[in-house]
Amino acid sequence: MPVSPAAATAGAGRFAPSPTGDLHVGNLRTAILAWLFARATGRRFLLRVEDLDPERSTTGTGQLRDLTAVGLSWDAVPVRQSERTGLYLAAVDRLAEAGMVYECFCTRSEIADAPRAPHAPPGAYPGTCRDLGDTARAQRRRQRPAALRLRSGVEAYTVTDLLHGEFTGPVDDLVLLRNDGVPPYNLAVVVDDAAQGIDQVVRGGDLLTSAPRQAYLASLLGLPPVQYAHVPLVLNPAGRRLAKRDGAITLGALESTGAGPDQVRDLILASLGLPPGPLEEALPEFSLERLPAEPWVFAAPPGEPLSLR
């Protein structure tokens, strides 16, 4: 399936990093792919700072600087999730009015230790608090504040992905509001995508399993579906996802080894089978058919040049 201007739309694509540290090469590659997908289909490209976790989040200024340095541009001022809480609470209220929300008092350890049905995936909520009576709920409220969970009506949901085709994944009673009042990722991302007119979501392949839960939640809220493309990850030579222990993997660290932003951009483009230079010049050569299906192995040992496998 080609990705071409013929598929022009009034929608938008996006890149939505969490400002919990510097972006690494894998993040930058996904951002460039999101930009290419959006531009190749006539969409706007937006940036969203997913800073809902106040304890771990920074301003994200360094991330925006690095994205600009490798040639990304966006079509509106980046929005911050920390400034959009009212939207998320309104969505929870809509679901609550429909009788689809219940209080949950479980701790993480209680959820981990609870018995589950044989077919339930690891980590799925076992429904401990789903049918608590009034007396039990009142007693649990005295022990700890409640989170709010979705009373899901399905056990699985199917999405269609441009790279993976139809994918069916489990849906449990996901959290809609943490017990500290902070909206979780799965709710915020669904509400924000709809509010921003985003109808194309390009992100790392590790998030494919989240798509069914998010698409199901969007359907309950009456929000339009999005087009998914979960792209291959970047791995270290040991076959694991990039991490700080892998050395020079951020733009700043790579610059200290002599690799500037243009060189990093060109290396990423080469990994996608695209020509070097400004992203606008690579755009005519970009197509879904040419997108590598396998992860990219990135190696940047100290004192050695960047390498591509």
Give one DSSP letter per residue of 164-206, joined into a string.
TEEEEEE----EEE-TTSPPPHHHHHHHHHHHTTB-EEEEEGG
Whether pLDDT at 127 is above 80: yes
Query: Hey, CA dihedral for 48, 298, 169, 180, is it positive or negative?
Result: negative
218 is in an annotated binding site: no
Whether pLDDT at 2 is above 80: no
Per-residue exposure over 7-37, b if at least 16 CB sit within 10 Å of its own CB, e if not: eeeebbbbbbbbbeebbbbbbbbbbbbbbbb
18 is in an annotated binding site: yes
CB proximity list for 19: less than 8 A, separation 6 or greater: 49, 50, 51, 57, 58, 59, 60, 63
15 is in an annotated binding site: yes
Which tokens hold the place of 174?
A: 């996901």
Average pLDDT over residues 46-56: 83
Q: Where is pLDDT greater, at 293 or 245?
A: 293
5-81+232-308 and 85-188 in the same fold: no
Nearest partner of 31 among 48, 11, 43, judged by Cα: 48
Asked if 23 and 65 touch (Cβ cutoff 8 Å), the reply is no
Residues in the chain, how many? 309
14 is in an annotated binding site: yes
**Residue holding tokens 């200024």?**
61
Residue 300: pLDDT band by 50, 70, 90 thresholds? Answer: low
Residue 5 pLDDT: 40
17 is in an annotated binding site: yes
Domain ranges, ordered by start, for the chain: 5-81+232-308, 85-188
Asked if 37 and 13 touch (Cβ cutoff 8 Å), the reply is yes
102 is in an annotated binding site: no
CA dist 155 and 6 (Å) reads 37
Percent of the chain topping pLDDT 70: 89
Whether pLDDT at 204 is above 60: yes
Average pLDDT over residues 275-303: 88
104 is in an annotated binding site: yes
CA dist 144 and 82 (Å) reads 25
Give the phi and the psi of residue 173 in degrees, each rounded to 5. Answer: -80, 80
Residue 305 pLDDT: 52
The CATH topology of domain 5-81+232-308 is Rossmann fold (3.40.50)
| Mean pLDDT score of the chain | 89
Q: 3-state class of 25 per DSSP?
A: helix
CATH superfamily of the 85-188 domain: Glutamyl-tRNA Synthetase; Domain 3 (3.90.800.10)
129 is in an annotated binding site: yes
Residue 1 pLDDT: 32
pTM exceeds cut of 0.85: yes
83 is in an annotated binding site: no
Average pLDDT over residues 116-127: 76
